[in-house]
Amino acid sequence: MIRIGVDTGGTFTDFVVEEAGRLTRFKLPSTPDDPSRAVLEGIRRALGARGGIVLHGTTVATNALLTRGGARVALVATAGFEDVLQIGRQARPELYRLEPRVPAPLVPARLRLGLAERVGPRGETLRALGEPALRATVRKVAGLKPDAVAVALLHAYANPAHERRVAAALRRAGLRVSVSHELAPEFREYERTATTVANAYVQPVLELYLTRLARRLGAGRTLWVMSSSGGLMRPDRAAREPVRTLLSGPAGGVAAALRLGRALGRTRLITFDMGGTSTDVALLDGEPEPSLERTLEGLPLRVPMLDIHTVGAGGGSYVRADATGALRTGPESAGADPGPAAWGEGDEPTLTDAHLVLGTLWPEFLLGPPADRDLAEDAFAGLAGRLGLSVERAARGALDVADAVMERALRRISVERGHDPSDFTLVSFGGAGGLHAARLASRLGVRRVLAPLDAAAFSAWGLLGSAARSEHSAPVLRRLDEMPPARLERLLDALERRVRAGLRREGARRVTLVRRVDLRYAGQSYELTVPFGPRLRQAFDAAHRRAYGVCDPSRPVEVVSLRVRGAGPAPRAPLPGFEKQPYLRRFLRPTVYFGRPVPVVPAAELGPREVLKGPAFVLTFASTIVVPEGWQAGRAAAGAVELVAAETRGARRSPGRAGAKSPRRAPGNPAAKPARRSPGSR
């Protein structure tokens, strides 16, 4: 059956179609007013009247949360704890700001209701939930006319009986309900409440989108949705638990990078996904471990998510000057409408316009409406005049600022977490990734960059190789020496049964299971997750030493939670090949960026052993790879172009390859810092 990977972005919606072992891909401008229009148009173009399987990475829930365009939500909490959502952790978000900006809670005070009931931390009932109090609360909630209701009662992770009664009564009243013990059966009241509220906030939006999309798909077509943890789920589950889709689109790119790395024998990867609206980065050191400590728009979310960091820098990011006259890029983006100034609809310059001005992009190879380099220069002329710069210098400055923003993001997921970037390979994708990848790699000390041939639709390709996934957890909060191994086994067996049942509902018959345990030293506030096994204590001490540099084998250890993650069989998606594209040809192009004519080479015309020395450009489907001076490009296996810093060509060690050994460089060693001069800068 034909399978289609669909990834919706802020500027383009990407499609990769697999039919009889062959891949085709195309892009359509996104339709922000109704994302389903672009999705359905692409499916119609790919399938015609035929059936197929649609695998969808969506940003609908993410955009609803980021733009505060979600539903009117009511919150039911234990009496006295209605304001947990607003109090939070009382952490100061901006330490040196006299008046820090704290995002308003998703549920205002007038929509937060207290319920007379109380459960203790061991699950004991301290105050029974009376029927009169329950009926009165349901009447109050119904009178508020919310679009959705979040129910988060105190210690419901230990005993969900009260939450179940409340949820059942609200559903009988015809209300849409999100319940904390179903979404995040974890201790920490604030995080559990925030997760439940976020789910309720975006649920009506995503439910409407998926219902409309499924109805209009037509007969013989099956829809799957990518989750934030890197697995697929049915649309009905995604509609019930949309908080699990908040990183749906970027997760497809991480899955694709992992698969490409495996094909090349590389397990240490940094992903760099620069699209039209934002840049997403992640670090992969072996198998990715979904994280439960994720904050989005100021909200902590306790559901499994791949550890992806996002910044507002993309090809469509606006370039502006702030009140001090300093250049700024993003986070606002021109998106698909009006798009870059070169499209003729907007008059504010974007990063795409900066590349057109400097000659690293060319109008004839840009997707979307016809582009005009003169319009890009006109947009930068006004900004340059206000700053007293030439048009070219303003455009180059915009790229330098964007690089600084993206470099900080890459350092945050690597250096700040104890990793040396030079031990990793940078995997660059997204329509704009190849334009910046080598420059950023130089700043980080990374010596190898992989640019997939399908970089502009890489996340959509990643969906084709993804499998159904499910994860369940159970709180324990007991000392390890009080929990016999047999008891832990019984609890994990119960979780396994829930995971298997969930995956059977998703259609998976063969299931791979992974058991994990959250542990911490007694008295600590946060825990580490380690694989379950006979030497659990030793595994935790080793993990603590890796994470913090110290461990204490004499100190008691506490079991916080147990986790079981399961996945169905992953389908095999073919790797893209170096097929020729008639509209791409080899030629010389003078550029302001490099100050002289440089070769422009389609990836398919690179000989199997050809080494293209920078400065040069390599063209792939809908993307351009900049090869700066001091770098070389050539073919890699598995459908990718590999960029190598010239001094490492022929070196005995290949950074990022599985099992490679190298002397570690201290990230703070000034002598080891890479040069920060941008290629071609004065």
Q: 393-411 pLDDT, tens per residue? A: 999 999 999 999 999 999 9
Rounded to an integer, the average pLDDT of 471-479 is 92
Identify the pLDDT of residue 140: 97
Identify the pLDDT of residue 667: 33
Residue 111 pLDDT > 90: yes
d(CA 673, CA 671): 6
Backbone angles phi, psi at 468, to 5 degrees: -65, 140
Neighbouring CB atoms inside 10 A of 440's CB total: 26
Q: 596-625 pLDDT, tens per residue? A: 999 999 998 898 889 999 899 999 888 999
Residue corresponding to tokens 């006109």:
378
Rounded to an integer, the average pLDDT of 267-291 is 90
Portion of the chain with pLDDT greater than 90, in percent: 68
d(CA 400, CA 402): 5
Residue 659 pLDDT > 60: no
Identify the pLDDT of residue 663: 33
Portion of the chain with pLDDT greater than 70, in percent: 95
CA separation (Å) from 403 to 291, 440, 443? Answer: 27, 7, 9
Segments of 95-152 assigned E as strands: 112-115, 118-119, 125-127, 148-152
Identify the pLDDT of residue 151: 98
Q: What is the pTM of this model?
A: 0.86
Tell me what the pLDDT averaged over the chain comes to.
Answer: 89
Identify the pLDDT of residue 650: 44
User: What is the per-residue DSSP string for 447-487?
Assistant: -EEEEETTGGGHHHHHHHT--BEEEEEEEEEEEGGGS-HHH
d(CA 406, CA 209): 32
- The pair of structure tokens assigned to 517 is 């345990």
Task: Report yes or no: 455 and 10 within 8 Å, Cβ to Cβ.
Answer: no
Nearest to 138 by CA among 168, 161, 118, 117: 168
Q: What share of the chain is helix, strand, coil (3-state, %, to 5)?
A: 35, 25, 40
Residue 661 pLDDT > 70: no
Identify the pLDDT of residue 476: 93
Q: What confidence category does residue 203 fall into, taking pLDDT thresholds of 50, 70 and 90?
A: very high
Q: 587-599 pLDDT, tens per residue? A: 898 999 999 999 9
In DSSP terms, 178 is beta-bridged to 150
Nearest to 644 by CA among 662, 630, 661: 630
Q: Give the distance from CA 618 to its chain's centroid.
A: 27
The amino acid that residue 204 corresponds to is P
Residue corresponding to tokens 């359905």:
40
Residue 676 pLDDT > 80: no
- Residue 33 Rama label (left phi>0; alpha psi -120 to 50; beta): alpha
Q: What confidence category does residue 572 fall into, taking pLDDT thresholds of 50, 70 and 90?
A: confident
Identify the pLDDT of residue 639: 85
Residue 441 pLDDT > 70: yes
Identify the pLDDT of residue 495: 95
